[in-house]
Structure 1
Amino acid sequence: MSDSFSSGASYKTGESQLTRRYQTDSSKDDTQVIAKDGDLEEIIARTSNLNINKTHHKKSVSTLFTKLINPFILTALSAFVRLYRIEVANKVVWDEAHFGKFGSHYLKHEFYFDVHPPLGKLLVGLSGYLAGYDGSFDFESSVDYPEDMNYVLMRIFNCVFGIVCTPLAYKTAVLLGYNQLTCWFISLSVIFEMLSLTLSKFILLDSILLFFTVFAYFALIHVHNLRTSDQLLTFQGIKWLSITGFAIGCVCSTKWVGLFMTALVGLYTILDLIIKFYQTISKQLPWKRYLLHWITRIFTLIVLPVTIYLAAFKVHFLVLSHAGEGDSAVSTLLQASHEGSDIKSGPRSVAYGSFVTLRSQGLSQNLLHSHPHNYPEGLQEQQVTTYAYKDENNVFLIEFDINAAISGKRALPETSGNNGTETETTIESQQLLQNGDAIRLFHNSTGRYMHANAIPAAVAKTHFEVSCFGTIDTTEIKDEWILEIQTQEESPSQFFANESGHELHPISTNFRLRNKELGCYLATTGYAYPSWGFSQGEVVCKYSYFNRDKSTWWNVEEHVNDKLPLPSETYVPPKPKFWREFVLLNFAMMTSNNALIPDPDRFDKLSSEWWEWPILKTGLRMCSWGADDIKFFLIGNPFVTWFSSLSLILFLFYLLSVGFKYQRQTVRYEVDSWESLLSQGILPFIGWFLHYFPFIIMGRVTYLHHYVPALYFAIFTMGFVVDRFATVVPKKISYVIYGLLYIAVIGSFWYLRVLAFGMEQSSKQYKHLKILDSWMI
């Protein structure tokens, strides 16, 4: 019918037909016309009573509740339970001793070292700045806060991140297409989930980490909805891809567990690009458009997060401009750039007889070290390691080679070593070290020479062992090392611009040490010795075929030689290179993280195993447990945790059932159904798995709070299971089910609320709260 009115000719034809019909109808009886007029009046009368705006009005009211009223109510409820009694514990609680202290370092601009990236701690420092805190408090565990310190505002600042997770969870549920009953169930579970609720009351990183995780998932669901409507290359699509990249950049800059959220986004992106690739080869999608999808993903989901991560470290280095307790863990150049650095650069040229400390230029950038403990295997000689802290066992003396020693030429002082042996030889300390010189390294504390043995190293078996052995009078050829200067870093001061490139200078010279007998180079591997080596870094002698192998590069950090003149001007060290310091610091963080392993000889009452978290077998005492102390017990909401754990299992059965029915063709799934299953069920389940499984395989010590991000995704999986079940029962019964679920979530929290709000009486008064005997209440 529409085609007959698609042109001017058709319109004229229709018009002539209507004219002829009117002429015919006009000759009919007037009563018919009157009857028709009556019908028209009746139609007008009926339609005049219709309110065509009623549907629009209902939709507007529903939108108002969905967008404003509901999230406002839920956010207010979340704020109340998190802010209530936030000030009651006026002592440093649990990990406030760590993260509060890190915030203090930013306010004092003192460099520190930690295993986590800096963004969350920068925000802690910002909270202290906003609270008027000057960074002077030491944040010792269980110590009272000073009266003039506004610790409550710092806690509130941290708590805001936990509060905002609630409206984001609600909005995410709405975006997933859930009905309001399910949205409220998910939101209430997030509000009254007691792990995140309790943690949000203190100066910790957990709320900040959870917020960025929640925000990244919220943005990912936006991306999913735009993808299903093919709008990812529009302004809205690029905007939400950018927001997703921003969020994963922030979560990775807070803690490295943010990489698990990055993996979730990455898997989703790979799936999307694979689907688009098949659409492209089947000519459903132009190659040019497919290439644009790749370009937008690279810039928004790779370049942007990496830029944010780099920016966090750039700010970290800029703010921490003064020497601090973390200096010993970073490169010599970075230390020397700090105001108030304690590096003793000494004379500007190193000579025989100089006392030096040597720092590795490899990824394990620690100081060369030895101590009076032997290897348990091999030749069982004295261990040589790298150590991240400065002590006397890092000091070596540069001694002449063996030929000089045989001829009576030595650089040793009159008394050296731990036995105080006296030497009768002439002391010569003014012969400067040149490129190609042969030297011996004498360990000052133990009185032994460092050498290489032609046997496998303790950990990296493909390299040779390095050890200390002998006495002052030892003259073994394998004690000799050939100095090979690689580069000289230039000082920005013109006074030091003409330093010889063939001489060894402290701080600025990078060099290698080649064993004269074996031909291998003194190097680090990045591995750590077992407990018999005190988990210190491994030192080996390796064959290196590339001069740029930084694991074989060293520099002199501290230099002491009283026989040489000091420069007439204060030495200005070369400026550290950001990229190099960034890589080295991140590797040091990784190494320190890997070193956080359980001690089998020590019982840690705070730690817990991964299998305990979904069943809440173990809680965590967050502070001292005296009768007069305000006590907090970290434990999850039993109903939320247990039901979400059960829902993970039920979801797998549901997924198997769907797959089986689809394979047997007893049920037909359209594209929308699969997209719904992907976003509502599969994504949160994978999110839970990615945030949980790594803790199963990693060897580091684990605690209950590590389960918080995974539990958030488990709650969404629980919402999916409830929503699907509610659709197969009568509507009235579903209302009853939701009502019971709400009561269970709130009631479970209410029964245990004092664990999160703080227990003021003796713990004996709270024995009734021990739902499980393993809870140490």
Structure 2
Amino acid sequence: MACSDNVAQRLESRKQQAVLSNTTTNSVRQRKKQRGTTPVPHSEDEVLTKPITTNKKTASPAKKGFQIGHAIGLTVVTALAFITRFYKINHPNEVVFDEVHFGKYLQRTYFFDVHPPFGKLLFALMGWFVGFDGDFKFDNIGDSYIDHKVPYVAFRTMPALLGSLTVSVVYMTMWESGYSIPAALLAAGLVLFDNAHVGQTRLILLDATLIFSMACSIFAYVRFYKMRHAPFSRKWWKWLLLTGVALSCVISTKYVGVFTFVTIGTAVAIDLWYLLDIQTGLTLQEFGYHFGARAFGLIVVPFCFYLFWFQVHFAILYRSGTGDDFMSPAFQETLADNLMTLSSTNINYYDTITIRHKDTKVYLHSHTARYPLRYEDGRISSQGQQVTGYPHNDTNNNWIILPSSNLPEVKTGLPVLNGDAVRLQHVVTNTMLLSHDVASPYFPTNQEFTTVDQETAAQRLNDTLFEIRIEGLRQGAEFKTMAGQFKLIHFPSKVAMWTHTKPLPEWGFKQQEINGNKNVQQTSNLWYVDDIVGLAENDARNERAPKVVKTLPFLVKWFELQRAMFHHNNALTSSHPYASHPIQWPYLLRGVSFWTKNDTREQIYFLGNPIGWWLASSLLAVFAGIIGADQVTRRRGVDALDHRTRSKLYNSTGYFFIAWMTHYVAFFVMGRQLFLHHYLPAHLASALVTGALLDFVFNTDNIDETVPEHVRALQSGKRSARRTLTGVMPSSPSAPNVATPLSWIVGGVILAAVIGGFFFYAPLTYGTPGLSVEQVLQRKWLGYDLHFAK
């Protein structure tokens, strides 16, 4: 007892000395502050939260063993990652599922895709390295790579390499966060031996780039935060900028990369909130430097790189291609060999023209048949002459463009201008296009389009007037064939002429309905003049002078492409037989069929490792329960956790949990098609949480013997909760977790089960060997829709 009292007295004495020293430091701080530096700790809490630095030369044998053990673990998991990703990478030698269409980069022809260009540019770079000419279009699943002499193994090497390195980054994230070797092995092993990660990252797909960049972002921010007590140093700037570069790669691969921005942004916001505390000793000016540096490194730098990849995209794709139709006429005229550049012609009044819908390509058409008196739902029509959309070119598609009669006499040869009010005369039936307040056949809210004879048209002049509204051009610009995509706006009612793909019944000859759409802003209202019919031989417009390819400012093209990408991404709402809902992902309720071969009964079925996914998903709920229980018990005065354990649980494991939430929850509000592969980034985060919880349950924190005794005494005492939530980041690596024998046993058992699940489903991941009916049925654990099950 006397010995214990003496120890307590010495600890109390050293604690008082530390407080006295901090008081002296405070007075020095007031006299001598340096811009951009974090002040010396001035409270017990700050003593505890500041990492204890040690001289590497005097590091303990235990710590050296910790580093060596982790180095060996990293080497092992990296080697196994390369083996699992590159095993039989040449099989199958056919197009599998959604292997990307990157060949167009090598042909320099413009194409459109809903994803940013970075990931596709990496594949194009690999194709350029191996001399691929881009002729093969990857059009159909099952097309032979061998027959078309495609160096597909080289292309698959790119995602396989990134997928292998992702496992290494997961391990290093756990290492740098101060977790034990079993915890790091478990987290990396859940990704290493996951069938979904292996299957998705050994095919020519974009997800390997996305997931690797996401993992690098999380790791780089860990390294940056560990430099928080040396702000604005060279290493501090290095890891801040590397975090920004990694973030730019994520968002430049797929737009779902914005979830990684939210993850890092949340951690930064919490960190800045801590720095704003007056007890940190920062002035508002110094806080502004911290805020500005983070804004520059994590917003400005990623955005600049994001713009750079689009600049490369535009520079490479300078020729007309399949993506032209997605862009405006002004954009298309910047592409070489584009029809708008080669054949666009000014349209004059009294020209006979054909008009086509931009999206469905049908012609504006009319014929002598009339709308029925009553439609199927009992509504009454006008019984006027039908106006429809017709896919083939014939004389019933010809219309004469006339001026409105309320303007002065317009002579032949006067050009039609943007904003003019015009009338359209159907050539074959000599009738005038008209719209009025009568419901269309399929849309009771939309107006009917019909034609009327000349006498009726003269009496109902206003109903025959339509405004030419050309997209992207100023009022008064010349109206041209091909180049002038326009909306035909009914003058009195302000509805836009529109069509859709659902065919009319037999009375409409299965042609498309034309009606007046009240949503004028809808992009599907666009039409263009396909041709001028019967242009006189002596017309000056027959002389086609060579046309120069136009230019547009980079930002104008970039903004237009962004709008088109977002629009078409959101429009991916059609059903798909293998689409799934986010609620199904964590517990792996269904997968996706990638490829089948009937002769050998081989198939690639995209599915995760059920054992690993079920474990990780369950532990996410356990983590939430632990946090809830800790909060409730502390409200009742029960403090079951020491300060360092609680800090690591909230800050480090909480960081990984935030990464899981931000990469998962947002999918519930999306209306587009969703598939299981959208969960892979969130699964990676759940693997980190799983490894962290292994340490929380089975391991203990090691207090390095080089830590000053007074700090060690303070660390062992009861702590307030005030700094538990400051900074989302692992604890100091100077106090790594010590692995207990039980953690090795539990981690080993879990990994053994995960490895068993991986090999059990490996035939569906690698597509070989073929399985018998009995073997397929054995793998239908949750009723997966596997092929060859009978």
Q: Could you tell me the TM-score, scaled by structure 1's length? A: 0.75
Between the two proteins, what is the percent identity of the paired residues? 25
Equivalent residue number for residue 295 of structure 2:
298
Q: Name the counterpart of 1:770.
A: 779
How far apart in 2 are the matches of 1:679 and 1:444? 75
Task: State the SS of the aligned residue for 2:102.
Answer: helix
Describe how 1:428-443 pairs up with structure 2 within 5 A: 430-434=413-417, 437-441=420-424
Shift of 1:446: 11
- Pairwise CA distance, 1:391: 9.1
Work out the CA distance in 2 between the residues paired with 1:552 and 1:53: 70
How do residues 577-592 of structure 1 correspond to structure 2 at under 5 angstroms?
577-592=553-568
1:636 aligned residue: 608
After the TM superposition, which of the residue ranges 307-316 and 625-634 deviates more from structure 2? 625-634
Which residue in 2 is equivalent to 1:413?
Answer: none
Describe the shift of the 1:487–1:250 C-alpha distance in structure 2 as closer, same or farther (beyond 3 A): closer
1:188 CA displacement: 1.2
Q: Which amino acid aligns with 1:159?
A: A
Query: Whole-Å Cα distance in 2 between the matches of residues 636 and 535 of structure 1?
Result: 44
Instruction: Spell out, residue by residue over 1:2-59, the C-alpha distance to the aligned partner (whole angstroms, 9 max, x if none).
Output: 99xxxxxxxxxxxxxxxxxxxxxxxxxxxxxxxxxxxxxxxxxxxxxxxx98965664
Tell me the residue number matched to 1:479: 464
Asked whether the 8 Å contact 1:345–1:560 carries over to 2, the reply is no
For residues 748-767 of structure 1, what are the structure 2 equivalents within 5 Å?
A: 748-764=757-773, 766-767=775-776
The one of 58, 64, 67 equivalent to 1:63 is 67
Aligned-pair CA distance for 1:501: 6.6
Q: 1:663 aligns with which of 635, 638, 654?
A: 635
The secondary structure found in structure 1 opposite 2:88 is coil
1:508 deviation in Å? 7.5
Deviates more, 1:673-682 or 1:283-292: 673-682
CA distance in 1, matches of 2:422, 2:158: 57
Assess, with a 3 A threshold, how the Cα gap between structure 1 residues 509 and 750 changes in structure 2: closer, same or farther.
closer
| Contact 1:451/1:466 (<8 A) preserved | no
Asked if 1 retains the 8 angstrom alpha-carbon contact of 2:437 and 2:447, the reply is no
Q: 2:693 maps to what in 1?
A: 721
Cα 1:773–1:263 change in 2 (3 A) is closer
- Structure 1's 554 and 606: CA in aligned 2 closer, same or farther, altered over 3 A? closer
CA distance in 1, matches of 2:608, 2:200: 11
Counterpart CA distance in 2 for 1:769 and 1:645 is 23
**Stretch moving more, 683-692 or 642-651:** 683-692
Count matched residues. 671
Deviation at 1:646, TM superposition (A): 0.5
Instruction: Report the equivalent of 2:21.
Output: none
Q: What does 1:26-37 correspond to in 2, within 5 Å?
A: none
Residues 507-518 of structure 1: matches in 2 within 5 Å?
A: 515-518=490-493
Paired position in structure 1 for 2:402: 400
CA 154–108 in structure 1, closer or farther in 2 if over 3 Å, else same: same
Letter of the structure 1 residue corresponding to residue 282 of structure 2: L
Could you say if the C-alpha distance between residues 531 and 559 of structure 1 is closer, same or farther in structure 2, counting changes exceeding 3 Å? closer
Flag structure 1 segments of 5+ consecutive residues without an equivalent.
Answer: 4-51, 411-427, 490-499, 544-548
State the distance in 2 between where 1:119 and 1:384 align: 46
What are the equivalent positions in structure 2 for 1:92-171 lying under 5 Å apart? 92-96=95-99, 99=100, 102-139=101-138, 140-147=140-147, 148-171=149-172
Distance in 2, Cα, partners of 1:515 & 1:316: 39
Asked if the contact 2:69–2:181 (Cα under 8 Å) also holds between the matched residues in 1, the reply is no
- Other structure's SS at 2:631 match: helix
Distance 1:740 1:105, change over 3 A: same
Contact 2:328 2:472 in 1 (8 A): no
Is the contact made by 1:598 and 1:701 (CA closer than 8 Å) also made in structure 2?
A: yes
| Conserved 8 A contact 2:434-2:451 | no
CA pair 216-446 structure 1, distance change in 2 beyond 3 A: farther
The one-character-per-residue Cα deviations of 1:314-335 (angstroms, maximum 9, x if unpaired) are: 2112211121112111111222
Structure 1 residues 312 and 371, CA gap change in structure 2 (3 angstroms)? farther
Indicate conservation of the 8 Å contact 2:357/2:527, yes or no: yes
Whether the 8 Å CA contact 1:131–1:151 is kept in 2: the answer is: no
Q: 8 Å contact 1:452–1:479 — kept in the other structure?
A: yes
- Which structure is higher in RCO with an 8 Å CA cutoff and minimum separation 6? 2
Deviates more, 1:213-222 or 1:549-558: 549-558
Q: How does 1:20-59 map to 2 (within 5 A)?
A: 59=63
Q: 1:117 to 1:666 in 2, by over 3 A?
A: same
* 1:132-152 deviations in Å (ceiling 9; x for gaps): 211111322101113532211
Is the CA contact (8 Å cut-off) linking 1:522 and 1:541 kept in structure 2?
Answer: yes
CA contact (8 A) 2:447 2:516 kept: yes
CA distance in 2, matches of 1:687, 1:772: 29
The residue aligned with 2:310 is 313
Distance (Å, rounded) in 2 between the aligned partners of 1:537 and 1:584: 28
Q: Secondary structure at the match of 1:623?
A: strand
Larger radius of gyration: 1
Deviation at 1:336, TM superposition (A): 2.2
Corresponding residue number in structure 1 for 2:173: 172
Match of 1:700 in 2: 672
Name the SS of the counterpart of 1:632 in structure 2. strand
Partner of 1:7: none
Deviates more, 1:554-563 or 1:110-119: 554-563
- Distance verdict in 2 for CA 1:523–1:163, change over 3 Å: farther
Counterpart of 1:327 in structure 2: which amino acid? D
Contact kept, 8 Å, 1:400 with 1:438, in 2: the verdict is no
Matched to 2:154, the amino acid is: L
* Deviation of the 1:758 alpha carbon: 2.2
Separation in 2 of the partners of 1:276 and 1:631?
54
Q: Which residue in the other structure is 1:621 paired with?
A: 593
Measured in 2, the distance between the counterparts of 1:56 and 1:735 equals: 22
Hey, what's the Cα distance between the residues in 2 that align with 1:536 and 1:302? 48
Q: Which letter maps to 1:746?
A: I
Distance verdict in 2 for CA 1:532–1:760, change over 3 Å? same
CA gap of 1:293–1:466, structure 2 versus 1, over 3 A, is: farther
Contact 2:118–2:253 (CA under 8 A) maintained in structure 1: yes
- 1:470 aligns with 451
Q: Report the residue type matching 1:316 in the other structure.
A: H
Judge conservation of contact 2:159–2:203 (CA < 8 Å) in 1. yes
Q: Is residue 83 from structure 1 mapped to residue 59 from structure 2 by the alignment?
A: no
For residues 310 and 441 of structure 2, the distance between their equivalents in structure 1, rounded to whole angstroms, comes to 35
1:593 deviation in Å?
2.0
Tell me how far apart the structure 2 counterparts of residues 678 and 393 of structure 1 sit (CA, whole Å). Answer: 74
Structure-2 change in CA distance of 1:336 and 1:726 (3 Å): same
Amino acid at match of 2:67: T
Aligned to 1:207: 208
Superposition deviation, residue 467 in structure 1: 5.3
Asked whether the 8 Å contact 1:176–1:680 carries over to 2, the reply is yes
